[in-house]
Structure 1
Amino acid sequence: MKATETKLSGCFILEPNVFGDHRGYFFESFNKQSFEAATGAEVNFVQDNQSFSSKGVLRGLHAQKGEFAQAKLVRVLQGAVLDVAVDARPNSQTFGQHVAVELSAENKKQLFVPRGFLHGFIVLTDTAEFFYKCDNYYHKDAEWGVKYNDEQLNIEWQMPSELFKLSEKDEILPSFAEAVNHI
């Protein structure tokens, strides 16, 4: 596995070693020892989640706070998404900065999103199947988020906003400045 740290400390793009031949391919999508050696992050994933979405569906930006914060290892099983991680750790040198990486079934890249980060994605293909591991259980009362089009974050979602499909919950999320005052 190749691990490349992004400009955000602790946030990594992971690329598996893929072994292919005329029959197809094989790769190890997660190995705790290899992951920890490559990233320096100790994890104990306890929950797997999967979603299926159509083109233009934007999910995010979401996180959990306090003792319920989650680190995530995300990947795409079918289709392609633009995946975004935002550093929301108040004491971080990259607080308020983000990275965006295309994850697809074809490139097989994964993104490790540490605790204290907001996370979201938009579907770039007709459909996408998105899969992620979490190192903490979901708690509804610990949910928080930031509006996808926050001016301070200035995320380029690679698609015209008139094509976006958002949940009612995501449409009314606060700005980054408003939200971080309550975490």
Structure 2
Amino acid sequence: MKFIDTEIPEVKIIEPSVFGDDRGFFMETFRENLFERHCNSRPFVQDNHSKSRQGILRGLHYQIKNPQGKLVRVVSGEVFDVAVDLRRNSKTFGQWVGVVLSSENKRQLWVPEGFAHGFYVTSESAEFVYKCTDYYSPEHDRSLLWNDPTLNILWPLVDGKAPELSVKDENAASLQEADTFA
């Protein structure tokens, strides 16, 4: 398992060692001692799994209280995955990292607490799984505007079409208006 730094040091790309032959493949997707050394020492308490079709954008989500660190990966299809730093006292506040995650490249992304997270489905459909360091807390759930010009996220929109969003994400806050972390 290889841990790769991104432009934001706390956000890590994780590339598994994949062993395969004509029967299929095997890979470890999580090893606690390596993860703690490179990323985090908090336990995971919740796993989530979603399926979305092409053009769906989920995010950018975060919890202002009971923040969740997320270890994310794609088990079918491909997404463009984004983490945005919302820690006001950070040198990288308001900056983002974007990574292609797919069932082909088998990469994972570690998105620590204090970041908004979202993904856009570029394949026909995608199944997305992630481990969380805290439980979902709907009363503290927030959404950051996916296309905030201040963030200038370079989403790889299929055919340049606007993504399909939930009502919550359509009404998301801009970075200037958003609740952020001290």
State the TM-score, normalized to the length of structure 1.
Answer: 0.95
Question: How much has 1:163 moved relative to structure 2?
Answer: 4.3
What value does the CA root-mean-square deviation take over the aligned residues? 1.4
Alpha-carbon separation, structure 1, partners of 2:41 and 2:165: 33
Distance (Å, rounded) in 2 between the aligned partners of 1:152 and 1:107: 30
Q: Does the residue aligned with 1:84 lie in a helix, a strand or coil?
A: strand
- Is residue 2–residue 16 contact of structure 2 (8 Å, CA) maintained in 1? yes
1:28 and 2:43 are equivalent in the alignment: no
Deviations 1:156-179 (A, max 9, x none): 111155241111110011111100
What are the residue-to-residue correspondences of 1:12-161 with 2, within 5 Å? 12-37=12-37, 39-66=38-65, 68-159=66-157, 160=159
Within the alignment, does 1:6 sit opposite 2:22 as a pair?
Answer: no
Match for 2:101: what amino acid?
Answer: L
Distance verdict in 2 for CA 1:93–1:80, change over 3 Å? same
Contact 2:88 2:181 in 1 (8 A): no
Is the 2:88–2:180 contact (alpha carbons within 8 Å) kept by the matching residues of 1?
no
Greater helix fraction, Structure 1 or Structure 2: 1
Gaps of 5+ in 1: none
Q: 1:144 to 1:175 in 2, by over 3 A?
A: same
**TM-superposed deviation, 1:182:** 8.6
Say if 1:181 and 1:63 are closer, same or farther in 2 by CA, change over 3 A.
closer
- The two structures have a TM-score, normalised by structure 2, of 0.95
Q: CA deviation at 1:9?
A: 2.5
Q: 4+ runs of 1 displaced by more than 2 Å?
A: 160-163, 180-183
AA at the equivalent of 1:130: F
Aligned residue-pair number:
181
Q: Which moved more, 1:159-168 or 1:134-143?
A: 159-168
- 1:180 is displaced (CA, Å) by 3.5
Identity of aligned residues (%): 50
